[in-house]
Structure 1
Amino acid sequence: MCFLFSSAAQARDVRVTTWNMSWLTLRGAQDSSMPADVYRRTDADIAKLSGYAARLGSDVIAFQEVDGAGVAARVFQAPTYKIFITNDPVVQRVGVAVRNTLTVERHPDVTALNVYSAQAPHPLRSGLDITVSDGKGSLRILVVHLKTGCWDNPPDEQKHACPTLQSQFAVLSDWILERQDEGEAFAVLGDFNRRMTPGDPFFHELATSAPLLLTTAGHASPCWGGEYFIDHILLGGAAKNWLVPDSLRVMSYKHDGTSPKALSDHCPVSVELSLP
């Protein structure tokens, strides 16, 4: 299932991707808002990421761990892409790059995903909520990056990050229920920090709000030698029927000696959607 996309990709309708870019920032080594051991990308590193983004050829790229629109635009370059990013006061923000042939309506950030109290020293990330359209069909999209540490633990575990992640899943359930009530085609995608499967109780919680298609179900990721998916693309409403069969792809990186720190420890995960 490991593919490196070429620029001569086959004809398709809309390619949707999620990509955690692993502390993509231009801040200096002395910036106190970041851990001291975070790798700082060089111009050459960013140029490589931009090359992979161009080769990916996606129409919608939901990204995570990006420090603002400026550095995002160096990877997803104009005029091909328009950049939208949350208003969170954190380094690791979520956002989306949308091909300029699509129109975008932005909705308020889903700040309820920050389930911490106002006194918490480090807030959790909001979700980015947009609708994209090709002039005929439209897709409501929520981009997320959820709390790490509850990879496949049971839902009743009261330590580590599981109670926090469960609270965030409750927020997602509410958002999904609203989309279902409004009859919208929708997708929730990003870094869930959860090895979700169709049998996962956390996924079941989301699916009680609306029927969902977990596009990564039954697959493992080849990223950096192989792992279970924590980056997912969920489809709901009419979008469940838009998935092009067997279109799930993971873009792996070339084995040229470049480390995950210089690129990302996550690989882009994509599916093709055939909008009506």
Structure 2
Amino acid sequence: MKSLIALSLSAVLLSGCVGMTSQRDVGTLKVATWNMEHLAERDGEGCSPRIEADYARLRDHASALAVDVIAFQEVQNKAAAERVFDPALYDVVMSGRPASTRSGECRGQPGLFIQNQAVGFAIRKGVPWTRNADLSALALGSPDLRWGVDVTVSRGRPVRLLAVHLKSGCNSGREPTDPDCPVLFDQLPVLEGWTEARAREGQAFVVLGDWNRRLASRDDAFLADLNDNDPVEAKLTLTSGDRPAGCKARYREFIDFIATGGEATRRIEPGSFEEYVYGGAPEAEHPSDHCPISVRIAG
């Protein structure tokens, strides 16, 4: 069985490399987002403790994704990220937020403790990029809410990318009695201010990451408030469309999204959205409780 899995993964890796070569030839940019589920710097730590073999599998899957830029979430620090994204191959860009003060025991896992959860990017060497100021206002002044990480990449025409990991616990509705929903909706005007500024500057922009929200649900209040068409170019389009999520049988709606503003939407390659389900491995063998999603943007 292990031999078969290895052969299958090798085939995925090979096909990914072929795909990457062709996309570079035509100047497109393949971007992805991936929540890595409590990725810790050291073996055996955090709420998803791993050993070196697990990090090796994550490296293999990162190669199989064959992308240029990966926005990631739930990564303890730069050293943790570089256990998956080889610094010889990627530039790792981490949120500037100070480490979170949360340090309690992981739920249902006595003796394991919550580690810092940071947002960042892994950018493949050779892709030109510049860093913009973090969107620290997304934290609403709390040391435990994540900042947005903002970069501009420029293979061909530039595109502005904002990586986010929004407040959890309010995946639908808008109940004021739910302690999580007011926090999430307080993050909304901060995010809206960023998208509207980019639109008024005439920039192509993308917001990608773990939104902790079923944005594609009919008449979702969060997306409706965000998309008020003022200005029109700030309107976000979900690149996943109305397709169901395939990562977990229990959850058929995405909470991870790659959302594009007007100019970036026009540059999306039709049919290029993909959900990477770890080569078809059973859920029990997934190395994270989220599956990466990706899309191609014309240069």
**TM-score class normalised by the smaller sequence:** 0.7 to 0.9
Correspondence for 1:196: 215
1:226-258 CA distance string (max 9 Å, x none)? 521000011113111011111111111246667
Please state if 1:137 is matched with 2:162: no
Task: Tell me the percent identity.
Answer: 37
Distance in 1, matches of 2:129 and 2:60, equals: 24
Deviation at 1:79, TM superposition (A): 2.5
Partner of 1:82: 91
Shift of 1:116: 4.5
The correspondence for 2:246, drawn from 222, 243, 251, is: 222
What's the secondary structure of 2:120's corresponding residue? strand
What SS class does the counterpart of residue 204 from structure 1 fall into?
A: helix
Unpaired runs of 5+ residues, structure 1, are none
After TM superposition, give the deviation of residue 104 of structure 1 in Å: 1.2
TM-superposed CA distance for 1:158, in Å, is: 3.4
Question: Secondary structure at the residue paired with 1:51?
Answer: helix
Q: 1:247 aligns with which of 261, 265, 272?
A: 272
1:9 aligns with 2:29: no
Question: Contact 2:43–2:51 (CA<8 Å) still a contact in 1?
Answer: no
Which has the bigger relative contact order, CA under 8 A and spacing at least 6?
A: 1
Greater than 6 Å deviation, 4+ residue runs: none
Task: Give the whole-Å Cα distance in 2 for the aligned partners of 1:55 and 1:251.
Answer: 9
| Whole-Å separation in 2 of the counterparts to 1:92 and 1:39 | 12
- One-letter code aligned to 2:61: Y
Q: Which amino acid in 1 is paired with 2:131?
A: R
Instruction: Quote the residue 1:114 is aligned against.
Output: 139
2:208 partner SS: strand
> Comparing both structures, which one devotes a greater share of its residues to helix?
2
* TM-aligned CA deviation for residue 170 of structure 1: 1.3
Indicate conservation of the 8 Å contact 1:224/1:252, yes or no: no
Supply the distance in 2 between the matched residues of 1:50 and 1:181 (Cα, whole angstroms).
39
Q: Number of aligned residue pairs: give it.
A: 259
Rounded Cα–Cα distance in structure 1 between residues aligned with 2:235 and 2:181: 24
- The 5 Å alignment of 1:84-99 reads 84-88=93-97, 89-90=99-100, 91-99=116-124
Provide the C-alpha distance between the structure 1 equivalents of 2:48 and 2:270, rounded to a whole number of angstroms.
38
Residue in structure 1 matched with residue 34 of structure 2 by the alignment = 19
Matches of 2:52 and 2:117, distance apart in 1: 19
Task: Show CA shifts across 1:75-129 (max 9, x none).
Answer: 1113221110102213100000111121111111111011255xxxx52010001
Task: Say whether 1:167 aligns with 2:182.
Answer: no
Question: Scaled by the length of structure 2, what TM-score is found?
Answer: 0.81
Correspondence 1:103 to 2:128: yes
Distance 1:272 1:256, change over 3 A: closer
Deviation at 1:28, TM superposition (A): 6.8
Amino acid in the other structure paired with 2:240 = T
**Could you tell me how far apart the structure 1 residues matched to 2:74 and 2:61 are?**
17
Q: Which amino acid aligns with 1:47?
A: A
Which of 197, 212, 226 is the equivalent residue of 2:236? 212
Partner of 1:146: 166
Q: TM-score, normalised by structure 1?
A: 0.87
1:103 to 1:257, Cα distance in 2 relative to 1, 3 A: same
Query: Which consecutive unaligned segments of at least 5 residues does structure 2 have?
Result: 1-11, 101-115
Contact preservation (8 Å) 2:37, 2:48: no
Following TM superposition, by how much is the alpha carbon of 1:157 offset from its aligned partner in structure 2, in angstroms? 3.1
CA contact (8 A) 2:131 2:152 kept: yes
